[in-house]
Amino acid sequence: MLNTPWDWIPIAKPPVVQPLQDVLSLPEVAAIISATVQLRYQTYYWVTYSLGLRLSETLNLTVADIDSHLMRVHLRFIKSKKGRFVPLPQVTLAALHRYWLTHRHPSLLFPGGKPPYLREGKTLVMDKGGVQKII
């Protein structure tokens, strides 16, 4: 047995099935936003849900990406590496404006850390881990 060559049979692997993510209902999203205490996280969740964005897409939004005249948001740093425009609801624009008045960062909508929001010369965005822990 020890010196006998083994015949390997090629076995086809079944495809990996990725389950679809659960979609939150409107009352569930409202409960999450109203249960969140800090304004920056409330605004973050509101913007993410109302615009249908990914976590990093929302964190990397800048003031220049918001077009309040045409009521749209320009997404630049997205997964597919292609920019796209997303419609901007009036309520979301009001929430962004109210939140921006609290920090008045010249370029970022969701800066991280404490003013001046810099570390080693780089501007900081909100921490991904912090956003995930809060939810």
| Annotated domain spans of the chain | 26-134
Average pLDDT over the chain, rounded to an integer? 85
Contact criterion met (CB below 8 Å) for 96 and 61: no
> 19 in the Ramachandran plot: left (φ > 0), alpha (ψ -120 to 50) or beta?
beta
**Alpha carbons 55 and 76: distance in angstroms, whole number:** 14
- Tell me the whole-structure pTM to 2 decimals: 0.77
In terms of CATH architecture, what is 26-134? Answer: Orthogonal Bundle (1.10)
Task: Choose the weakest-confidence range: 43-52, 113-122, 124-133.
Answer: 113-122
Residue 57, number of CB atoms within 10 A of its CB: 21
Look up residue 22 and give its amino acid: D
pLDDT at residue 2 is higher than 90:
no
Contacts of 115 (CB under 8 A, 6+ apart): 103
CA dist., res. 131 & res. 134, Å (int): 5
116 band by pLDDT with thresholds 50, 70 and 90? confident
